[in-house]
Amino acid sequence: MVVQGEPHSLKVTLEEMIYHTRMVARGIRHSLLVADLPFMSYQISPQQALENAGRLIKEGGAHAVKLEGGQRSAPAVEAIAGADIPVMGHIGLTPQSVHRLGGFRVQRDASRLLDDALAVEQAGAFALVVECIPVDLAEQIRTSVKIPTIGIGAGAGCDGQILVTHDMLGLFGDLKPRFVKQYADIGAAIVEAVEAYCREVRDGRFPAMEHSFRA
């Protein structure tokens, strides 16, 4: 959404995810690189999920993969983890389910979400993203599972936190979820710099002699 300008993540392909993962893999030294399995790359069968997870590891250079869904995705998690590929789960607001959920909404079904968390853990996930759920429910999930929970819009009670880089740096202004804290306004700084560049080119002030070569 923040890179391609799409209203949701459903159009992203596996090939695009492999490409972006490969770019990140070149730049990291110590971080854990987790790549998302995109929509319809794991829902058809556990075998499909395993094959595509393998591509993200082998071709993309990921260390682990992430997929959305709780109980319904447990067989895929089990197949991938069974091949010694680390799997991260994702429950609560699952962006690939945006149409079924009726938009990007807070998820409050405590019984279902607890069952989802336990199912993903039992299937072999090493960690769990918990998105856009009430604070008390997020804490209940954290104390119910033995694997780390990573929150996004789920309060401070999780073991870790996520923010989209473009959101926290002010690079994307079209969608402003309540749970986002903007730590900088780099977007405004970029606009200001480009406008200054354009003015100087029009006025003939750039390039100046210090930016040019002499005979």
- Give the SS3 label for residue 31: coil
Which structure tokens are listed for 71?
């109980």
E-only strand ranges, 15-58: 34-36
CB 58 within 8 A of CB 84: no
Of residues 95, 91, 102, 16, the one with CA closest to residue 60:
16
Catalytic residue among 68, 121, 131, 139: 131
Measure the CA–CA gap between 47 and 132, rounded to whole angstroms. Answer: 30
E-only strand ranges, the chain: 34-36, 64-66, 87-92, 127-131, 149-152, 160-161
- For residue 101, the cross-strand partners are none
| Active-site residue flag, 131 | yes
Report the catalytic residues.
Answer: 131
